[in-house]
Structures are given as structure tokens and as C-alpha cells.
């Protein structure tokens, strides 16, 4: 099989745009989601791909006055080694460090994490809790979608087949709390059974949960509760709001009951921690 | 001494079967049963595939008896008209392209007329589920000592308990793989395996060949843990059948998924205890029932059950013991050999139960064990009198002291008062493991081993015992070089090739260093005797004598031979299951410290002390590695490794969802040896390989029980299970209050 490797963004968008939606080209960034089942899943072979590796415009971590911009090829490792990110976005660094191990951290991209659309993703919740915006481009032009409005269903998102994610933009505002919690079946190299990202800023609380709904989910009922009622006094106080926000299930990795209970507890602990710091 | 093949493995220079060049070789692939039980109605080959380009093998191509010979001949090489488990091999395919054969395997459909499978061995089989005898029991074993009922009748307390352990996947780094080819009328089967002569025996039977027309060669093996004890016969036969039909070499290497769903696992077990204790906290009766899920064919289940039963009463002295064991036939893929071989299951039950009993009678768990520990002169459940000079109570004392148990317990109590989420606890397990085959097994094996003197003055150890990461090459080199006073560079170890090495038995049962290592010593002595030299002749004088011998007899072979003889006084009666079950035991006391996070219900082991006496330690680095590896594997089994079954198949047959511990999940593993030399072993050594997997699970679970005040009876104790225990307990207390 042949995989085209366009040299710039215009070429890449042209290739994607020439396809109809029934036979799209599948973009490859790090390949760490796409290649996993390569030897054993026949459908992985019948698709056609386009390799983004040579598209220079998509690389790198860029800082402007207002925002941190992650190029679509920016890897977890790019963020881990960025001094400013460690300073200003410790929550991104914390989640990056919990993705796979160093091999995956250096190949896997934030954009790939978003488009792959796993409800158990580790990159998506922290980006969402930081009000990230997804920048999409096609031959027709560019548009922006807030990450918390990006997903339309299980592994389905706003991206059209002819679009590429070109960047992820994260506003630089003061956040008094940034907390990422990954509850996996072991301490490293694991898929989250429960994921949680919490931030607090002038814009208010952001509470994002993973592995407890068909998509990574912003928990607006919990956010409202925190804004209106202040600190909960026990994990159970969060339950009614959480029930509005999430719908965990039993699957091969855990149980609905475990996920619900643990999410309540780690959330309670995270917001209390935030309150202690603020107070 | 450094590990012989260490650098090759470290640098990637070692060649495993997948790496072996094989000119003109085809890739083999297996088509398997989709159903746990039923009649094969049809095998459909998708007409859109050009099957003339594939080599296709089914049961009709088996030239000899269609059976994978081991203990019983019940397991077919390829299913004939019925299947007994999901993933049972039915058809084999081969093609030059690995990709093509993978896809072709999906284009063959095995149509099965279903029959009612027996999948849950905890329940008695319904009539429609009976497939063997009148109860599906494939093996029953009973051990009796004293009078259990009478003792229970006079006991001050009787404590009962039921304990469950799950299946465990070996997760050797290298999956199963074999290469077969024929050369000048001799069939070669080469691959990843522990027991060359098991494969040899099975090949003669199924292929109907003479002994010299089959050669089994071990390729460098990337881990085994028992998983390459019986299954290599199956996959080796498959590669051979394809190679014979194709007239070309054929290689089969399983993907991880296929390896996990189709090959053996540790036997799931249910163990029930009824224990009588007298007023001063001494065990007076142990009534134990052991039930194991053998899976669909007998394979090694009878002997796994046997070892499990014999170890079930633990390292304690008790005058009245009854242990009844059943291995049950079900329709899951056959469970098989796995490090510990039945003993980890029964030790888990016994050591967890010891804590339960101690708590029930209001005694300290350590003191209760100390008081009942078997002493020299006492006898085991099979009536074996222990007299090896090991101070077992001292091992326990040392483990407790090294762990800092008393100070830590005080600190844990303080933590529980000050931290809302974090709880810590200490747990202990005392256990033993018999080295070598059970009962009369070693006598029956009648192992033989040669040490040859080479013309250049080196000596060559010729044995069928293989290196799989545990250190056989290094240990044998050490033993021979010590015995003959030679530099290790003057010792070589022959490739385990049945065409060149005698049958020194399988590389299993913690027997290689102890039993076969002793044969190395004896064969060295014999070699020296053949040179006409006395036992004091070592080193250079020996080398010179060797060179001289060959110079005078060009082309002649000089071989010292050894044959297994049981140590004096060892006797076993298989009828009554009494006597010396093993020539020697390793003894151990392990202490775990755990931390439970009440936010996530995750338990994590934060410190671990492993104290054992396995006689003389031959190689401290390798020995420590064996213990650390065994403890890691035991912690995985205790806390996270779970085979999830659905309709008789493993649902999580991938490393993403079958969770083994990473280095970050492990505590410092502090390993200590006490060394009481055992005169029957080489340089005083006993077996070590399996012992370290027997103790971690109960030590860890006992620690969790103490940390959070629950009473777990089942492993793996995943966070989900622990949550249920903690929350049920809390709900119960709330109701009472
Ligand atoms: C061993 C291992 C461990 C892992 N551990 C974790 C973990 O701990 N946490 C976690 O969240 N994930 C984990 N993953 C999954 C994976 O690494 C991440 O989701 C990663 O972020 C994917 O990025 P990628 O660049 O490799 O994506 P790819 O595999 O290249 O692509 C993923 C998807 O995104 C699409 N895509 C990629 N880039 C673009 C673009 N610019 N525009 C449009 N579409 C695009 C692709 O077409 C594909 O659909 C792991 C994977 C492996 C193999």
C-alpha cells in the first residue's frame, strides 16, 4: 500500500478535499491509536491513509499573549518539556505524564487524542477543563469549535472528513486550581476507569469527567452546584448533580457502580483541595 | 558469576523462534472452534478464496494417533467431530505470506451444533452437562492423617472458611512459537519450550514415527512459567503436520491475543477449610476440600491437583488432617502448568484462613503461626517427617523483624485517625514448596544426564533442561566448574536437542537446579572416574588429562553419565498418598505492607519482605531475581490479574485489558535468604523457582484485611471487589447502629 506524505498544509487539505465522505483519507499523526490493531484487524488495512508527519505548519507548541496553541502534531512530550507549560498549565503536564509511557508520550499527539474520541482519553479532559478550542481547516477555510461542544456521540465529533485539526488553542487566564486525576487499573500504562479534570478561574469552575459517559463529558450540573452552593460537605452531596452529568456503565474494565462512587470521591477531594487553596 | 546469555539478551542479539531464518518457510495458522461444546457439523471454506494456494490440514492428516500424549490420551491434535472448548484447534493453514494466512483463517468457518457446556465449576453439573464419568471429575485425591472428625468433636473452636482464586495468564514475553521441517527423513521441531522430551513423546505418538526420526530442539525461550510445559506439544505437532504436508518448513508464532485465548492458564480453585483449634491456640484438626477447574481435557490437572492438595495444610504441625481434592472437567480451554502448580491456590486459602482462625480465637496472627509451625521431627499431612534442620519459626521472626511490623502497625493506627482516605496494614504468610516431582515422580522420570570431555579440554553438559530466563545455563556452568575445579569458560552447555542430549526430564517443578544440578555433579564425578582420576584431581591437571585422553584416542567420545537415584530413605506410597511427597522443601515467611486509598479502593503494596531458606544459594543475583519475579507475579495475581470469561472464552485476551503490574505498582522487594545446606542437592541447594509465588497473595490480602477491617476471601482483590466489601461492611454497620 502507498501512503501519501504531503509536504505542507495546502497539499494535505487538497488531498483530503478530493475524497468523498464514503472513501475518506484517514490522517495519521503519531499513529498510536491507528496502528495498534494493524496486524489483526482487517478494516485497518482496507482504509487509505495520509501521513501528516511532513506538514511543518502543524508542529510545535506556540505561545501568544492570549493563548497557548498546540500544533496538531504537538506531542505529549512537547508539552512535558516546555518550561512555560509546566509553569502555567501543570494540569496538561500532569495528564501528559500519565499517558502510556515515554514511547507513546513522544509519538502521541493531543490532536490525535481529540479526534480518536475515546471516552477514556487523558488529553481531552484537561484540554476541555482549560476551555480549549479546536481549530479545523479544509480547502474551504478555517473554523473553530469549542472542545466542550466538539463531540456529538460515541467516538463521533464535529470534524468533517475533509478537515484537519490544525491547532488547539487554550486561553491564558489565571486559574486558582488545576487538578487531574486518573484512576486506572494500575499506576501506569493504563486506560482510565475514571478520569477527572478540574480547574477554577474567574470564568468559574470547570469539571470534566472521562470514562463515565459515551464521550468525555463536561459536568455542568456539578459546576452549577459548586457555583451556587459552594463546597459540598461529603462526596454524596455531589451525587444528584453527577447523575445529571454522567451515565457510567459496566464494561470489561470496570463497573458502573465503581465508576460512579469513585468519581464522586475523587471529585469531592479535588474541589475541597481547591477550596483549601483558595481559602 | 555473570549470566551466560545475559549480554545476548540485553543487546537483542539472541535469536528467538520468530527471528530464526527459515528458507522457503510457510507461515502456519490455526482455525479454532467458536463454541465451548458441540458437534462439528461442517467446516466451510469461503469459495472466494483460492484454497489451492494454501496447505490445509485437518484431523485426517494426522498419521498416528490423534492425541496430544501427556497423562491421558483424551486431547486431540485437531478436533475430529466434536469440540470441547472455545478456541480448540480444528483446521491448520499455511502459506508463504503471514498476512495471507491470517486473512484466510478468517475465511474458514467451523459450524458447530451446540451442546450444553459446563462452564462454572463452582456449581455441580446438570445431567446435560456431564461429559466424564457421572460427575465430570477427572481426578480425586484424598490425604488422611489421624482422625479429623474425632478431633473436631473435641475442639475448643471450629472455624470454617471458603476461599477462591482465579485463573492467571503467564504473560511470558515471547508468545508460543514453533518451526518444523524435515531433513533427510528426520523431522525437526524447534521452538519455545520447556520440555523437549514431552514434545518428542507426543510427536512419536501422533506422527507414528520412530524415535530417531524426530528431533526436538529448544530455541532460546523468552519466559515460560509453566506455560511452555504442555502447550508446545500441541503447537509443535501443528507445525509438523503442516510441514510434512507442505514438504517445506513451517513456522507458527501466535499473536498475543491468540496466545492468551487459546493456551493454558493457572487453574481456578475453590478451597474450603474446617479447622479445629484447642484452648491454647493449637491446630488439632484441618479438614480441607480443594476443587479445581481442569478445563476441557486432562492435560496436567491430576498432578496440579496433587501438588495443591499436598501443600494445602501449610507448613504447620497438626495431628488430624483430611484433604480431599477434585479436579473437574469443564468446557473452558484446559488449565495447565503455572509456576507453583496448584500450591499457590491452596496456600492462599490456608494462609488467609490462618488469619481468620487467629482472629476468631482472639490470637495474634504471628503468634498463632509460630505456635503451630512445623518443627523438625513433626510430620506433614502425608506423614512425611520433616528433619532438615531449618528453623522455620526463626524465618517468621526474621521476616517480621525486618519488616518493622510492630512500629509500622503503631504508625498505621495513627494514620487511620488522622487521614480521611489512606489506610495501611501489615500481612504475613508462611508457606513451603516441595522441590522436584511429587511422590514417586522423580523415580519414574529416571532422569539421565551426560557430561562429555571434549578434545580441547573443555567439558560439555548435555541435558534436556532448558534456559528460559531463570538461569539454567549459568547454574549448570557454576555447578560443573565447582565440581571439577574449572574456570567457567571451560564449561559449555549443549543445546537442548533430543538428538544430542539424554532425557534429564522436564524443566519444571523447581527441579532443575536441585535434581538435575545434582546429576551434573554426579556426571562430572563419573567423567573424572573414566579418566582414571581420583576425586581430588581438579582444574588444570584434569584439563590436561582430558586433552591427553583424546590425543591418544582420536575421534573417541568420553562421556560421564549420571542417572537419578532418590536420596536415601525417601519413600512414597501412591495408593495411600502417604510418605515423602518431596525429597526437600523450601520454607518461607513473607510480609507485605499495603496502602488502601478509600477514594479509589485501590490497594497498593508499599513494602515487601521475603525471607526464605532454600538451602545453599547457588547464585545470589539469580536467586534474588527469582524471588522478586515471583513476588511481582504473585502481587499481580492477588490484586489485578483477572481472566474474564464469557461463554467459555477469555474476553480480555489482550494486554490492554489483562492487567499485570508495572514496576511502578511494585514496592521495594526486600529479599533475604537463610542458608541451611541440604546434603541431597548440588553444593547444598534446594529448589527455588516456584516458592516465591506461593506467599505474596495471602500476605497482601491479609494486609488489606487489616488495613481496612474487611474479610476478603477471593482474588484478584480488584478495587471493584474491595469496594463491595468495604461498602457492604459499612452498610451493615449502619443498619446495626
Ligand atoms: C501503548 C499505548 C498506550 C496508550 N496510553 C494512552 C493513555 O494513557 N491515555 C490516552 O489518552 N491515550 C493513550 N493511548 C492512545 C493514543 O496514544 C492517544 O490517543 C494519542 O493521543 C493519539 O495520538 P496519535 O497522534 O498517535 O493519533 P493517531 O493514531 O495518529 O490518530 C488518531 C485519530 O486521530 C486522527 N487524527 C490525527 N491527527 C489528526 C489531525 N491533525 N486532524 C484530523 N484528524 C487527525 C486520526 O485519523 C485517527 O482517527 C495509548 C496508546 C498506546 C498504543
Beta bridge partners of B424: B595
Nearest to A252 among B598, B604, B652 (CB): B652
The yes-or-no answer to whether B269-437+578-732 and B441-563 have a common fold is yes
Q: Ligand 1 centre and the CA of A165: distance in Å?
A: 13
Contact B177, B223 (CB under 8 A): no
Q: Tell me the three-class secondary structure of A108-142, residue by residue.
A: CEHHHHHHHCCCCCCHHHHHHHCCCEEEEEECCEE
Domain boundaries along the sequence of chain B: 6-112+179-255, 269-437+578-732, 441-563
The predicted pLDDT at position B192 comes to 98
Q: Do B659 and A187 touch (CB under 8 A)?
A: no
- H or E stretch at B636: helix B620-639
DSSP annotation string for B317-356: --S-EEEEEEEEE-SSSPP---TTTTHHHHHHHHHHHHHH
Residues B657, A253: C-beta atoms closer than 8 Å: yes
CB contact under 8 A, B656 and A269: no
Output the pLDDT for position B564.
97
Cell numbers 508468545 correspond to B175
Confidence of residue B522 (pLDDT cuts 50, 70, 90): very high
pLDDT digits 0-9 by tens, B551-571: 999 999 999 999 999 988 899
pLDDT tens-digit readout, B201-210:
999 999 999 9
Cβ–ligand 1 distance for A72 under 6 Å, the answer yes
- CA distances for B26 relative to B23, B56, B185, B246, B446, angstroms: 9, 12, 19, 8, 38
Q: How far apart are CA A131 and CA B82, in angstroms?
A: 59
Q: ipTM score here? A: 0.96
Out of B599, B640, B661, name the one closest to residue A262 (CB).
B599
Looking at domain A175-278, its CATH superfamily turns out to be CO dehydrogenase flavoprotein, C-terminal domain (3.30.390.50)
Per-residue pLDDT, A39: 74
- Give the rounded distance of the alpha carbon of B293 from its chain centre: 16
Position A279 pLDDT exceeds 60? no
Nearest to A180 by CA among A264, A69, A246, A93: A93
How far is B517 from B536, CA to CA, in rounded Å? 20
Q: Do A183 and B651 touch (CB under 8 A)?
A: no
pLDDT, position B708: 97
Contact B436, B582 (CB under 8 A): yes
CA dist B431 and B31 (Å) reads 43
pLDDT, residue B737, reads 61
What is residue B617's DSSP assignment? Answer: -
| CATH among 3.40.640.10, 3.40.50.2300, 1.10.1060.10, 3.90.1170.50 for B6-112+179-255 | 3.90.1170.50
Helix (H) or strand (E) run with residue B691 in it = helix B691-694
CA-CA distance, B614 to B636, in Å (whole number)?
24
- Of A29, A145, A211, the residue with max ligand 1 atoms within 8 A of its CB, to mutate for a pocket test, comes to A29
Q: How confident is the model at residue B327 (pLDDT cuts 50, 70, 90)?
A: very high
Give yes or no for a contact between A80 and A112, defined as CB atoms under 8 angstroms apart.
Answer: no
CB A200 within 8 A of CB A131: no
Q: How close, in Å, is residue B644 to chain A by CA atoms?
A: 8
Q: Which residues of B are less than 8 Å from A40 in CB distance? A: 102, 255, 257
Which of B569, B523, B505, B166 is CA-nearest to residue B335?
Answer: B166
Which residue of chain A is at minimal alpha-carbon distance from B717?
A: A185
| Residues B363-389: tens digit of each pLDDT | 999 999 999 999 999 999 999 999 999
Which residue matches cell numbers 535469536?
B15
- CA of residue B565 relative to chain centroid, distance: 24
Residues 6+ apart with CB under 8 A from A80: A93, A96, A97, A105
Give the confidence band of B117 by pLDDT, cuts at 50, 70, 90.
very high
A190 interaction partners in chain B (CB closer than 8 Å): 659
Q: Do B718 and A265 touch (CB under 8 A)?
A: no
pLDDT, position A277: 64
A142-196 residue pLDDT tens: 999 999 999 999 999 999 999 999 999 999 999 999 999 999 999 999 999 999 9
What is the average pLDDT across B186-200?
A: 98
- Which backbone phi and psi does A273 adopt, to 5 degrees? -60, -45
How many angstroms separate the CA atoms of B367 and B396, rounded? 10
Its pTM stands at 0.97
From CA B57, how far away is CA B511, in angstroms rounded? 37
Which residue from B minimizes the CA distance to A195? Answer: B600
Q: What is the CATH code for B269-437+578-732?
A: 3.30.365.10
**Sign of the torsion formed by the C-alpha atoms of B196, B201, B203 and B209:** positive
Q: What is the mean pLDDT of residues B477-489?
A: 98
Q: Mutating which of B46, B254, B599, B659 best tests the A interface, going by the most A Cβ atoms within 10 A? A: B599
- The answer to whether the CB of A167 is under 6 A from ligand 1 is no
Burial class (CB in 10 A: 0-12, 13-18, 19+), B88: buried
Identify the band that residue B735 occupies on the pLDDT scale cut at 50, 70 and 90. Answer: confident
Q: Tell me how close the Cα of A188 comes to any Cα of chain B, in angstroms.
A: 7
Q: Residue B380: name the closest of B567, B568, B587, B564 by CA.
A: B587
Taking CB atoms and an 8 Å cutoff, what residues of chain A touch B659? 185-186, 190
**Residue B317: its pLDDT value, please?**
98
Q: Write the pLDDT tens digit of every residue in A13-54.
A: 999 999 999 999 999 999 999 998 877 777 788 899 999 999
Look up cell 473452558; give the residue.
B332
Q: Which CATH number is associated with domain B441-563?
A: 3.30.365.10
Please write the tens of the pLDDT for every residue from B649-689. 999 999 999 999 999 999 999 999 999 999 999 999 999 99
Per the CB < 8 Å rule, is A187 touching B664?
yes
Amino acid at each position: 500500500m502507498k501512503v501519501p506524505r504531503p509536504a505542507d498544509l495546502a497539499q494535505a487539505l487538497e488531498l483530503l478535499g478530493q475524497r468523498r465522505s464514503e472513501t475518506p483519507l484517514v490522517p495519521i499523526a503519531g499513529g498510536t491509536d491507528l496502528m495498534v490493531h494493524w496486524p489483526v484487524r482487517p478494516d485497518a488495512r482496507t482504509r487509505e491513509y495520509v501521513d501528516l508527519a511532513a506538514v511543518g505548519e502543524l508542529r510545535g507548541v506556540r505561545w501568544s499573549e492570549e493563548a497557548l496553541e498546540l500544533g496538531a502534531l504537538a506531542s505529549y512530550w512537547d508539552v512535558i518539556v516546555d518550561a512555560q507549560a509546566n509553569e502555567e498549565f501543570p494540569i496538561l503536564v500532569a495528564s501528559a505524564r500519565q499517558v502510556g509511557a515515554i514511547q507513546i508520550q513522544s509519538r502521541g499527539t493531543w490532536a490525535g487524542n481529540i479526534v480518536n474520541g475515546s471516552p477514556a482519553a487523558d488529553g481531552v479532559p484537561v484540554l476541555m477543563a482549560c476551555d480549549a478550542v479546536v481549530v479545523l481547516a479544509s480547502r474551504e477555510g478555517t473554523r473553530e469549535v469549542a472542545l466542550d461542544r466538539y463531540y456529538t456521540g460515541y467516538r463521533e465529533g464535529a470534524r468533517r472528513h475533509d478537515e484537519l485539526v490544525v491547532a488547539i488553542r487554550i486561553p491564558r487566564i489565571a486559574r486558582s486550581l488545576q487538578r487531574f486525576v486518573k484512576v486506572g487499573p494500575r499506576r501506569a500504562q493504563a486506560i482510565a476507569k475514571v478520569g477527572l479534570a478540574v480547574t477554577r478561574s474567574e470564568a468559574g469552575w470547570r469539571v470534566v469527567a472521562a470514562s463515565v459517559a459515551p464521550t468525555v463529558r463536561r459536568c455542568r450540573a456539578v459546576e452549577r452546584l459548586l457555583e451556587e452552593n459552594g463546597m459540598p460537605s461529603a462526596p454524596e452531596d455531589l451525587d444528584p448533580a453527577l447523575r445529571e452529568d454522567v451515565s457510567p456503565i459496566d464494561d470489561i474494565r470496570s463497573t458502573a457502580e465503581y465508576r460512579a462512587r469513585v468519581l464522586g470521591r475523587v471529585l469531592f477531594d479535588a474541589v475541597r483541595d481547591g477550596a483549601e487553596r483558595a481559602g | 558469576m555473570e549470566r551466560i546469555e545475559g549480554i545476548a539478551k540485553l543487546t537483542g542479539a539472541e535469536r528467538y523462534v520468530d527471528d530464526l531464518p527459515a528458507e522457503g518457510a510457510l507461515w502456519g495458522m490455526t482455525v479454532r472452534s467458536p463454541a465451548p461444546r458441540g458437534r462439528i457439523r461442517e467446516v466451510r471454506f469461503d469459495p472466494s478464496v483460492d484454497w489451492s494456494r494454501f496447505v490445509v490440514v485437518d484431523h485426517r492428516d494426522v498419521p498416528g494417533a490423534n492425541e496430544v500424549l501427556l497423562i491421558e490420551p483424551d486431547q486431540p491434535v485437531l478436533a475430529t467431530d466434536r469440540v470441547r472448548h472455545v478456541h480448540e484447534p480444528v483446521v491448520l493453514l499455511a502459506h508463504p505470506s503471514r498476512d495471507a494466512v491470517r486473512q484466510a483463517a478468517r475465511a474458514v468457518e467451523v459450524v458447530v451444533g451446540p451442546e450444553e457446556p459446563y462452564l462454572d465449576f463452582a456449581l455441580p453439573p446438570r445431567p446435560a452437562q456431564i461429559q466424564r464419568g457421572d460427575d465430570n471429575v477427572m481426578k480425586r485425591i484424598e490425604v488422611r492423617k489421624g482422625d479429623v472428625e474425632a478431633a473436631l468433636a473435641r475442639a475448643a473452636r471450629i472455624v470454617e472458611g471458603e476461599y477462591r482464586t482465579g485463573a492467571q495468564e503467564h504473560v511470558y514475553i515471547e508468545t508460543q512459537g514453533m518451526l518444523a521441517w524435515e531433513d533427510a527423513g528426520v523431522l525437526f521441531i524447534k521452538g519455545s519450550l520447556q520440555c523437549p522430551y514431552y514434545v518428542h513423546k507426543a510427536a512419536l505418538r501422533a506422527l507414528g514415527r520412530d524415535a530417531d526420526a524426530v528431533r526436538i530442539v529448544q530455541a532460546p525461550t523468552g519466559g515460560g512459567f509453566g506455560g511452555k510445559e504442555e502447550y508446545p506439544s500441541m503447537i509443535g505437532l501443528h507445525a509438523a503436520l503442516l510441514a510434512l504436508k507442505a514438504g517445506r518448513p513451517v513456522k507458527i508464532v501466535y499473536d498475543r491475543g491468540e496466545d492468551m485465548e487459546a493456551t493454558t492458564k493457572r487453574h481456578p480453585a475453590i478451597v474450603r477449610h474446617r479447622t479445629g483449634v484447642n484452648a491454647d491456640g493449637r491446630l488439632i484438626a484441618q479438614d480441607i476440600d480443594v476443587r479445581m477447574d481442569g478445563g476441557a481435557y486432562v492435560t496436567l490437572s491430576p498432578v496440579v491437583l496433587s501438588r495443591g492438595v499436598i501443600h494445602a495444610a501449610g507448613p504447620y504441625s497438626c495431628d488430624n488432617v483430611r484433604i480431599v481434592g477434585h479436579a473437574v472437567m469443564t468446557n473452558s480451554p484446559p488449565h495447565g502448568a503455572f509456576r507453583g502448580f496448584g500450591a499457590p491456590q491452596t496456600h492462599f486459602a490456608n494462609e488467609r484462613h490462618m488469619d481468620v482462625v487467629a482472629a476468631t480465637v482472639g490470637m495474634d496472627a504471628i503468634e498463632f503461626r509460630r505456635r503451630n509451625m512445623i518443627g523438625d521431627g513433626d510430620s506433614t499431612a502425608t506423614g512425611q517427617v520433616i528433619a532438615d534442620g531449618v528453623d522455620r519459626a526463626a524465618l517468621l521472626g526474621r521476616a517480621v523483624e525486618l519488616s518493622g511490623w510492630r512500629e509500622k502497625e503503631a504508625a498505621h493506627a495513627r494514620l487511620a485517625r488522622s487521614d480521611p482516605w489512606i489506610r495501611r496494614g501489615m500481612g504475613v504468610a508462611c508457606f513451603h514448596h516441595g522441590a522436584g516431582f511429587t511422590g514417586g515422580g522423580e523415580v519414574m522420570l529416571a532422569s539421565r544426564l551426560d557430561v562429555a570431555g571434549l578434545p580441547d579440554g573443555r567439558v560439555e553438559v548435555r541435558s534436556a533442561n532448558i534456559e528460559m530466563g531463570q538461569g539454567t545455563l549459568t547454574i549448570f556452568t557454576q555447578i560443573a566448574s565447582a565440581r571439577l575445579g574449572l574456570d567457567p569458560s571451560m564449561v559449555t552447555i549443549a543445546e537442548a536437542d533430543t538428538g544430542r542430549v539424554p532425557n534429564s526430564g522436564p524443566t519444571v517443578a523447581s527441579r532443575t537446579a536441585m535434581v538435575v544440578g545434582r546429576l551434573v555433579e554426579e556426571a562430572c564425578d563419573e567423567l573424572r572416574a573414566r579418566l582414571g582420576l581420583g576425586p581430588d584431581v581438579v582444574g588444570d591437571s584434569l584439563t590436561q588429562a582430558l586433552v591427553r585422553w583424546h590425543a591418544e584416542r582420536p575421534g573417541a567420545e568420553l562421556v560421564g553419565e549420571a542417572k537419578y537415584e532418590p536420596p536415601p530413605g525417601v519413600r512414597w506410597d501412591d495408593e495411600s498418598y502417604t510418605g515423602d511427597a518431596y525429597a526437600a522443601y523450601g520454607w518461607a515467611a513473607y510480609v507485605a505492607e499495603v496502602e488502601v486509598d478509600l477514594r479509589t479502593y485501590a490497594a497498593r503494596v508499599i513494602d515487601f519482605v521475603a525471607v526464605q531458606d532454600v538451602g545453599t544459594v547457588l547464585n545470589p543475583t539469580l536467586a534474588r531475581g527469582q524471588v522478586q519475579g515471583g513476588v511481582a507475579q504473585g502481587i499481580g495475581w492477588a490484586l489485578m490479574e483477572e481472566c474474564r470469561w464469557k461463554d467459555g472464552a477469555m474476553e480480555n485476551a489482550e494486554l490492554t485489558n489483562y492487567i499485570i503490574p508495572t514496576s511502578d505498582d511494585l514496592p521495594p522487594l526486600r529479599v533475604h535468604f537463610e542458608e541451611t545446606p541440604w546434603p541431597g542437592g548440588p553444593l547444598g541447594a534446594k529448589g527455588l523457582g516456584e516458592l516465591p509465588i506461593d506467599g505474596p497473595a495471602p500476605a497482601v490480602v491479609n494486609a488489606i484485611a487489616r488495613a481496612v477491617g474487611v474479610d476478603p476471601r477471593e482474588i484478584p482483590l480488584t478495587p471493584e471487589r474491595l469496594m463491595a466489601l468495604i461498602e457492604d461492611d459499612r452498610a451493615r454497620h449502619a443498619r446495626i447502629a
